[in-house]
Amino acid sequence: MSKKVFVGMSGGVDSSLTAALLVEQGYDVTGVYMKNWSKDLPGFPCPWKEDYQDAKRVAVKLGIPFEMWDFEDEYFERVVQYMLDGFKAGITPNPDIMCNQEIKFKLFYELAREKGADFIATGHYARVSNSETESGFKADLNPLSDEITDTGRLLQAADSNKDQTYFLYRVRNDALAHTLFPLGDMTKPEVREEAKKRGLITADKKESMGICFVGKVGIREFLTQYVDKKYLIPGDIIDQNGAVIGRHDGAIFYTIGQRHGLDVGGGLPLYVTGKNMKKNEVYVTSNLQDDNLWSEHISLTHTHWINSPPEPGKEYQVRTRHRAPLMACSFTSVDGEKARVTLKEKLRALTPGQSAVFYDSDICIGGGVIV
């Protein structure tokens, strides 16, 4: 009897090919469109209907059942509100990471399992080690009960440029034990070429840009619609010497290390080094070597370790934003949901609210939110 797989189909080429490959491999595949967001914003119609129709057309071509699961209320509560609260607090949250944690690999995963799925699958560029992908895979012992537990491990994609494990580090290992990533060994050009060979209508579809759930809308336009006007009041831009050199249109819009969009004419390039939400001030420097721009330590909160916590003193690699180069580091402390890390080299523009994700060779061990 074929193993049952529910595939998250977003209407893009990656998830379309994922479904096609699994059908060819003999799985009993059901396509699912997750309806997470459907609201239009001024000048930016939400593309969800087009995406849904594209996913449905692919499912029809593949001859597989297709469903739409409505997670819109949960999405706003768990992802959008998290993002809004973060920006209002003066940090830069990552909604894509929270979407994976709360929606795709929690709500979607749990409902799929309730409906009899052996596995879920998505079009992420990542690899997973579990009983389905590794013939010699062995589950871990539960340290509390000595019983075998459902455990999966997250590995980097073969294509380092497309690797998406940064966004997946908060996925639980029991979900990974029942997850397939068919694109983990492929490059984007290969995915498009294979989709063309199969006549999938999404083969040449452009990737969505902007906020993960709004399509073409940028973060500034989105926040303008969803935060109180008190966060959109102009304030002072202050340089490293304490001088007011310009005005901003809301401190909520600015991120540590940001260079563009300051609208301060003339002189040397300026970089954001900090901000004070209560005073509505943004701090900048024209000195690229300013100590406020560089860090040799990372303090973390809300840590999540996929299989087991890191060992203090052991060398790991860390990535502090998607596609940022990996840097050598070691943990000086791991205490509950908090941790402190020492970097081998100083790092520029460490951004509170973003995530630091850690690797032991190819294995993504987890990470935490930068304080």
Q: Which residues does the annotation mark as catalytic?
A: 99, 212
- Tokens for 325, please give them: 């180069």
Q: CB neighbours (10 Å) of residue 285?
A: 21
For residues 300 and 341, the answer to whether their CB atoms sit within 8 Å is yes
Q: How far apart are the first and last CA of the chain?
A: 49
Q: What amino acid is encoded at 221 in this protein?
A: E
Q: Give the max Cα distance, the chain.
A: 72
Helix (H/G/I), strand (E/B), else coil: 298:
strand
For residues 33 and 52, the answer to whether their CB atoms sit within 8 Å is yes
For residues 178 and 156, the answer to whether their CB atoms sit within 8 Å is no
Cα separation, 150 vs 173, whole angstroms = 7
Summarize the chain as % helix, strand, coil (round to 5): 25, 30, 45
Q: Which of 41, 94, 82, 91 is nearest to 252 (CA)?
A: 91
For 13-48, b/e burial (b = at least 16 CB within 10 A) is bbbbbbbbbbbeeebbbbbbbbbbbeeebeebebbb
Q: Which string of DSSP letters, residue by residue, matches 90-109?
A: T----HHHHHIIIIIIIIHH
For residues 200 and 16, the answer to whether their CB atoms sit within 8 Å is yes
What is each CA distance from 267 to 242, 270, 275, 360, in whole angstroms?
17, 9, 21, 43
Cα separation, 106 vs 207, whole angstroms = 24
Cα separation, 70 vs 264, whole angstroms = 45
